[in-house]
Structure 1
Amino acid sequence: MARRNKIYEGKAKILYEGPEPGTLVQYFKDDATAFNAEKHDVIDGKGVLNNRLSEYFMSGLNNIGVPTHFIRRLNMREQLIRAVEIIPLEVVVRNVAAGSISKRLGIEEGTALPRPIVEFYFKDDKLGDPLVSEEHILAFGWATHQDLDDMVALALRVNDFMSGVMLGVGIKLVDFKIEIGRVYDGDFQRLIVADEISPDSCRLWDMKTGKKLDKDVFRRDLGNLSDAYTEVARRLGVMPNAATPMTKPKLMN
C-alpha cells in the first residue's frame, strides 16, 4: 500500500492528499480534547461516530442546497472531501445561553436567546481562539463584507436545518460551531461549509431531561462520551438501535 501524504494534523482529524486533484481524505481520530487541548484523552470509537454523524449532517445540507466540502464516506473513519481555502474564523451560532456566552454576559445557562446569535472567533490555538468583531475581521483582511454576509447566511441555514433535524429526535440544538472555506471555479469564488459537524462541534441537550449529549460530557466529567455520541447516532438512525458504543478490536489468544 502506498504511503499517503499527510497535509495537516489537528486535535481530532488528519487530512491526507486525496486521490484526485482538489480533493483530500479526512481521517477522524479518537482523541478528545478540551480547554484548548489542556485536557486530553483517547475515547475508543469516537472517530467512527463523528465520521458517520458528520457524513449524515453534511449530506443532508448538500441535499437541501447548502454547499459543503463533503463528497462521500470512504470507510468507517475516513471521508473524501473537497479541498478548500479555510477562512481563519470559527463561526458559532447560539440558540440557548451556554458555555462562554453565559460567563461573559452573566446569562444563566439554559436561557433561550431572543434570536439566533452569530459570533466569530479567530482561529489561533495559541491565543485561545478569541472572540472578534466584524470590524476586526474587515480591518485585518480575514474576510470581506460580502464574505461576512455569505457566512452569516450559511450559518443560519445550517442552524435551521440542524435545529429541525434535532427537534425531530427529541434533542435541543443549543449551539454549534462551523468552519467555512473558499472554493474557486475559474475567477468565481464561493463559500462552502467545511471541517465537520458532529457532537464535538455542537451542544446537544435532551429536550425532556436536559441531559448533555455532546463534548461537555468530557469537558465537565459527566459520564461516558462514547455513550453520549452513540445515543445521538441511534436517535438519528445512523446506527441501529441495538448498537453498542464502538470499541477497539481485541486480539484473541
Structure 2
Amino acid sequence: MARRKLVYEGKAKILYEGTEPGTLVQYFKDDATAFNAQKKEIIDGKGVLNNRLSEFFMMGLARIGVPTHFIRRLNMREQLIRQVEIIPLEVIVRNFAAGTMAKRLGMEEGTPLPRPIVEFSYKDDSLGDPLVPEEYIIAFGWASQQDLDDIIALALRVNDFMAGVMHGVGIKLIDFKIEVGRVWDNDFMRLIVADEISPDSCRLWDIESGRKLDKDVFRQDLGDLADAYTEVAKRLGVLPSNATHMPKPTLIN
C-alpha cells in the first residue's frame, strides 16, 4: 500500500493528502495537551471519541445551513475534509466567564455574561495564542472588516446550535473555539467552519452538578478525560447509553 503524504501534524490531529482533489484526510490522535503542550499525555480512545463527536456537530451544523469543511467520516479515527485556507485566528465564543477571561477580569468562573462575547486570538503556540483586537486583524491583513463581520455571524450561529443541543442533554455550553477557512468556488470566496468541534475545543459543564466534561478535566487533574468525553458522547447518542469507556470503544455507525 502506498504511503500517504503527510501535510501537517498538530498537537491533536494529523492531516494527510486526500484521495480526491481539494481534500484532506484528518486523523484524530489520542494525545492530550495543555498549557501550550507543557502538559502531555496519551489518552486511549480520545481520538476515536473526538472524531465521532466532531462528525456529529459538523453534520448538525450542515443540516441548519452552516457551511463546514466536513465531507464524511472514513473510519473510527479519520474523516475526509475539504481543503481550506485557514485564517490564522482562533474564534472564541463565551457564554459564561471561565478560563483566561475569568482570570483577566477577576470574575468568578461560571458567571453568566450579558450576551455571547466573540474574541479572537492569533494562532501561534510560541506566543501563547495571544488575544488580538479587530484593529490588529485588519491592519495585518489576516482578515478584512467584511470577513470579521461574517466570521462573527458564523460563530454566533454555531453558538446558537451548540448551546441548544447541549442544553437538551443537560450540559451547559460555557465557551468554545472554532477555526474558519476560506474556500473558492470559481472567483467566489466563502468562509466555512474548519478544524474540529469536540470537548477538546469547548468548555462543557453538567447543568445540575457543575461537573466539567471537557479538557479542563485534564488541565486541572479532575479525573479520567476519556470518561468525561464518553459521558458527552452517551448523552448525545453517539455512544449507546450503557457504554463504558474502553481503549477502543464501540460506537454507533
Normalization by structure 1: what TM-score?
0.97
Question: CA contact under 8 A between 1:48 and 1:246: conserved in structure 2?
Answer: no
Q: Which residue of 1 aligns with 2:35?
A: 35
Summarize deviations over 1:150-188 as a string: whole Å, max 9, x none. 100000000000000000000000000000000001111
Amino acid at match of 1:198: S
Identity over aligned residues, as a percent?
80
Q: Which residue of 1 aligns with 2:202?
A: 202
Q: Tell me how far apart the structure 2 counterparts of residues 74 and 243 of structure 1 sit (CA, whole Å).
A: 22
Q: Which residue of 2 aligns with 1:122?
A: 122
Q: Which residue of 1 aligns with 2:225?
A: 225
Please give the residue correspondences for 1:66-215 in structure 2 after superposition, counting only pairs within 5 Å.
Answer: 66-215=66-215
Gaps of 5+ in 2: none
Give the aligned CA root-mean-square deviation in angstroms.
Answer: 0.8
Q: Tell me how far apart the structure 1 counterparts of residues 248 and 20 of structure 2 sit (CA, whole Å).
A: 31
Q: Tell me how far apart the structure 1 counterparts of residues 116 and 38 of structure 2 sit (CA, whole Å).
A: 30
Per-residue deviation, 1:243: 1.4
Q: Tell me how far apart the structure 2 counterparts of residues 174 and 143 of structure 1 sit (CA, whole Å).
A: 26
Q: Tell me how far apart the structure 2 counterparts of residues 121 and 246 of structure 1 sit (CA, whole Å).
A: 35
Q: Which residue of 2 aligns with 1:53?
A: 53
Q: Tell me how far apart the structure 2 counterparts of residues 159 and 207 of structure 1 sit (CA, whole Å).
A: 17
Secondary structure of the equivalent of 1:211?
A: coil
Summarize deviations over 1:116-136 as a string: whole Å, max 9, x none. 000000000100000000000
Per-residue deviation, 1:2: 1.3
Secondary structure of the equivalent of 2:41?
A: strand
Q: Tell me how far apart the structure 2 counterparts of residues 219 and 75 of structure 1 sit (CA, whole Å).
A: 29
Amino acid at match of 1:89: L
Q: Is residue 239 of structure 1 aligned with residue 222 of structure 2?
A: no
Matched length? 249
Per-residue deviation, 1:246: 3.1
Q: Tell me how far apart the structure 2 counterparts of residues 183 and 246 of structure 1 sit (CA, whole Å).
A: 38
Amino acid at match of 1:222: L
Q: Tell me how far apart the structure 2 counterparts of residues 68 and 95 of structure 1 sit (CA, whole Å).
A: 22
Summarize deviations over 1:48-99 as a string: whole Å, max 9, x none. 0000000000000011100000000000000000000000000000000000
Gaps of 5+ in 1: none
Amino acid at match of 1:27: Y
Q: Tell me how far apart the structure 2 counterparts of residues 239 and 246 of structure 1 sit (CA, whole Å).
A: 12
Q: Tell me how far apart the structure 1 counterparts of residues 115 and 95 of structure 2 sit (CA, whole Å).
A: 7
Q: Tell me how far apart the structure 1 counterparts of residues 248 and 159 of structure 2 sit (CA, whole Å).
A: 34
Question: CA contact under 8 A between 1:97 and 1:113: conserved in structure 2?
Answer: yes
Secondary structure of the equivalent of 2:88?
A: strand
